[in-house]
Amino acid sequence: MSAVAPPLCTWIVAACLSATCVADDEGKQRNYIGGGLFGTRRHLAARRRGGARSGVPIAVSFHPERGGVENNKSETKQRRVVVTGMGVVTPLGHEPDEFYSNLLQGVSGISEIEAFDCSSYPTRIAGEIKSFSTDGWVAPKLAKRMDKFMQYLIVAGKKALENGGVTEGIMNELDKSRCGVLIGSGMGGMKVFSDAIEALRVSYRKMNPFCVPFATTNMGSAILAMDLGWMGPNYSISTACATSNFCILSAANHIMRGETDLMLCGGSDAPIIPIGLGGFVACRALSQRNSDPTKASRPWDMDRDGFVMGEGAGVLLLEELEHAKQRGAEIYAEFLGGSFTCDAYHMTEPHPEGKGVILCVKNALADAGVTRQDINYVNAHATSTQLGDLKEFEALCRCFGQNPQLRVNSTKSMTGHLLGAAGGIEAVAAIQAIRTGWIHPNINLDNPEKNVDVSLLVGSQKERCDVKVALSNSFGFGGHNSSILFAPF
């Protein structure tokens, strides 16, 4: 140890001195101009706010005789996180208010698939987006090469900024090193990858040169960050149908730890293509109620026969409270906390005793610092599958007991299941419930499951509810469980 200590000490000291001597010359910082390459709607110029942030030097001393390291890094006080912007691309509309208004009215976004000929498939329905344009949001040449999941992601992300009042002037004042993007995808660029395989049958020369990067789940967040010039944390999380919640909670943690001031977070998926539909048909997961599409997604109903695929994106703009106040932002809700767990049981089936879900909800309550009596609204994962709906409901009953104030609903009864984007749009639905004081109905609940306490479920009409704390659940293949909580600010 003594032979190793001197050079190691020298290396550590040199590293510390090097870190403290690097000056952040603001005049040499690169300015990112949104819209030049990626086509932003507001031509948002990016200029760092105020002086450069060089960080606080960390003094490290090495003691060979003790074999330990002293770290004098100061503790960061946990900060409050609020929601200041929302962006959606869904089968029920591409603006948060339009989207939620349709939910409140019980409008179904499920219809026959028109994007491709699926006449030979046993399932021919989905929550398909019929009208969507990237005009003004993404450069045409880039949009042509992108997978739809990336198009949805970028448009929803920029709409969240616009909805959050992040004007050109505010963008000019942001410290880009403290702004991040964490928007995931469960499926990624399946269409780009599928097209590349077909092109390869002819020749590799026919392949889209962007097929590899545009098929990966991280590239949507990366392209959006390049467009905005946001240099903070940038990555994606892919945990199947739980993706959005994982991204939202992880993004909030970056803010709470003092690493960032703003985070765009959520999820996006575009699985309604032949390989996506075929894959879920092969595992017998989808409803085959083709003759009556709007009645196909029916969580907790005895006649449910599988989930209905959907597509789109849901993105939140999370912001540190004092930062939001300083720029005069409208605060829609406060993010309280959340949790991740794993069933560690089966690839697709929920744990028969709901252990993973129960643990997730309990940990989320503990993380948020609230009691189970504080929760009076749950936006459930409820996808319209036989086992999933029932096991989640049983877990909720075990977590919350007899609570006559608790109301439970499923957004998927109208949107279908947007896979990795589901948690994103459902977080928007939960926040809109807080804002409006109304919670949306469960449509198609005509013959409730006998083991489900219908008194907790919202009926076929919207209900008035002064939400105290909203819990949004999202679970994914592989036993991924996630719960996040929002409250009025």
Neighbours of 381 (CB within 10 A): 30
CA dist 129 → 54, 272, 310, 418 (Å): 45, 10, 8, 11
Indicate the residue type of 415: T
Q: Is 241 a residue of the active site?
A: yes
Which stretches of 164-218 are DSSP H helices?
168-173, 190-200, 211-215
Structure tokens at 118: 């699926």
Based on the residue annotation, tell me whether 118 is a catalytic residue of this protein.
no
pLDDT at 210: 87
How far out from the chain centre does Cα 243 lie? Answer: 6
pLDDT of residue 75: 53
Cα 123 to Cα 290: distance, rounded to the nearest angstrom:
7
Query: Per-residue pLDDT for the chain (489 aa), expressed as one digit of tens each?
Result: 433 333 333 332 233 333 333 334 333 333 333 443 334 433 333 333 333 333 444 444 334 444 444 545 445 567 999 999 999 999 999 999 999 999 999 999 999 999 999 999 999 999 999 999 999 999 999 898 899 999 999 999 999 999 999 999 999 999 999 999 999 999 999 999 998 999 999 999 999 888 898 999 999 999 999 999 999 999 999 999 999 999 999 999 999 999 999 999 999 999 999 999 999 999 999 999 999 999 999 999 999 999 999 999 999 999 999 999 999 999 999 999 999 999 999 988 889 898 999 999 999 999 999 999 999 999 999 999 999 999 999 999 999 987 889 999 999 999 999 999 999 999 999 999 999 999 999 999 999 999 899 999 999 999 999 999 999 999 999 999 999 999 999
Domain locations in the chain as residue ranges = 83-487
Question: Which of 254, 381, 440, 480 is flagged as catalytic?
Answer: 381
- Residue 318: helix, strand or coil by DSSP? strand
CATH code linked to domain 83-487? 3.40.47.10
2 alpha-carbon distance from chain centroid:
50
Which of 179, 211, 241, 360 is an active site residue? 241
Coil vs helix vs strand at 268: strand
**Do residues 46 and 231 make contact, with C-beta atoms less than 8 angstroms apart?**
no
Sign of CA dihedral 81, 82, 85, 91: positive
Helices (H), 1-114: 5-21, 96-104
Cα–Cα distances (Å) from 54 to 22, 24, 78, 152, 332, in that order, read 8, 6, 21, 35, 33
Three-state SS at 413: helix
Residue 77 has what pLDDT? 62
Tell me the sheet residues that pair with 310: 127
Helical H segments across 231-351, by residue range: 243-256, 274-282, 321-326
- Choose the catalytic residue: 323, 417, 440, 480: 417
